Amino acid sequence: MLSFKTRRTVPFLAVSLCALSLAACGGSGDKGQPLDLTILHINDHHSHLDAESTALTLKDAAGASKSVTVELGGFARVSAAIEALAAGKPNVLKLHAGDALTGDLYFTQSEGQADAALMNTVCFDAFTLGNHEFDGADAGLVKFIDYLHAGACKTPVLSANVKPAAGTPLAARVADYSIIERSGQQVGVVGLTV
């Protein structure tokens, strides 16, 4: 059983502020030197792995409505965008702030295996648990984390405010934080589940 100490903050800001506040803390390289860090972040993809079109009604300054069709989602698009944004940047952190699961037929059919496989195309530096990661209970979350770690990526799964009971399978799979090295400096990333 998990105990929650929930804080009402925006996951991206929490993860980003933690990462930025801990940047360059005690690295083995250029201590005290500035570190130019690019943070690429997603959250709440909710198993929406395919792109889809949707119609939006927008109003102009005069109040006139106009309908436009836009493309939404699609993990292939997310992966390509992250790759393009990271290109040529030496110090990139790729973070996922949770709620990867639940919300689409992909989750119902694959129980997170499809999500994990596509998340591994990005190879996130850290993944923070969102509240929907618990929709399949502890056993479902263990299965998802195992899928996430099945490839070469081994993305750390983080949550400093979720404490799995001692001796449960989750205890060894969820950490409070991760230390990531960039340009010889250490960057701490703390996960908070909200």
DSSP for 37-83, please give it: -EEEEE---TT--S-EEEEEEEE-TT--EEEEEEEE--HHHHHHHHH
pLDDT for res 36: 95
Measured between alpha carbons, how far is 116 from 145 in angstroms, rounded to an integer? 8
Per-residue confidence band for 9, with pLDDT thresholds at 50, 70 and 90? very low
Count the residues in the chain: 194
pLDDT for res 31: 63
- Report helix, strand and coil shares of the chain as percent, to nearest 5: 30, 25, 45
Phi (first) and psi of residue 18, to 5 degrees? -65, -45
Per-residue confidence band for 62, with pLDDT thresholds at 50, 70 and 90? very high
Average pLDDT, the chain: 87
Largest CA distance in the chain: 62
pLDDT for res 23: 47
pLDDT for res 33: 85
Tokens of 47: 């198993």
Quick: pLDDT tens for 63-114: 999 999 998 889 999 999 999 999 999 999 999 999 999 999 999 999 999 9
Measured between alpha carbons, how far is 97 from 172 in angstroms, rounded to an integer? 20
pLDDT for res 8: 37
pLDDT for res 30: 55
Measured between alpha carbons, how far is 108 from 105 in angstroms, rounded to an integer? 5
Vertex 14 angle, CA 27 and 168, to 5°: 85
Question: What domains does the chain contain, in order, with CATH numbers?
Answer: 2-30+37-44+92-190 (3.60.21.10)
Examine the pLDDT at 193 and tell me if it is beyond 50: yes
Burial of 127 (0-12, 13-18, 19+ CB in 10 A): buried
Examine the pLDDT at 187 and tell me if it is beyond 80: yes
Answer for the pair 47, 11: CB distance below 8 angstroms, yes or no: no
The alpha carbon of residue 54 and the mean position of all alpha carbons in its chain are separated, in whole angstroms, by: 25
pLDDT for res 5: 38
Quick: pLDDT tens for 132-157: 999 999 999 999 999 999 989 999 99
